[in-house]
Amino acid sequence: MTADSKTTLKLLFPGRKSISALDLSSLIFDLNRIYVVALRSDKAGFGSTQGFGNFGRNSFRLSKDLQLDVGRIRFESPGLIELATASAEGASAVWLMVQVLDKITSWDLNRKKLRLEIRKLEEELGATTHRLPRQRLEPFLNIPEVSSAAKQLENNPLKANEVLISRHSVTEPD
């Protein structure tokens, strides 16, 4: 058996009577765009959008081992979307995603709590992945696919009011 760690991002939403399919799919698509660009930018360098081609759905596909998985969606109040990745590269990408979410001003987040979550993740990732320098954020935000996704999240009626991040060990059979 091998033990790996899984990084989980939970988005909590205030109670809603109904959620449109388009709002939900757009929210997940835009979060995934940020995640994929973070992974690819790590390899290609910031500012490089080579490999995206356009904003179409197929431009943001990854191999199964790197994909961002939807762990859970709950529609009762409070609403919940749980996204997870088991790859070390994915954990770093989640860190960048959360940094972008912190910049979305229309989300009524507890910024102080969110920054504590970010710091906690940074400490947990420090021993397992490359360092996560803050100077990576501004160039990352300027990548067209990221700024577009952030703008779409800003305008989406589904707005998280809490973001939680956790890392935990998972044991898989050999």
* 140 pLDDT above the threshold of 60: yes
8-27 confidence digits (pLDDT tens):
999 988 876 678 899 999 99
107: left (phi over 0), alpha (psi -120 to 50) or beta: beta
119-139 confidence digits (pLDDT tens):
887 777 764 444 455 556 778
User: Is 66 buried (19+), middle (13-18) or exposed (0-12) by CB count in 10 A?
Assistant: middle
49-68 confidence digits (pLDDT tens):
454 555 566 777 888 888 89
pTM of structure: 0.81
Interatomic CA distance for residues 146 and 60, integer angstroms:
12
| DSSP H/E element including 92 | helix 88-103
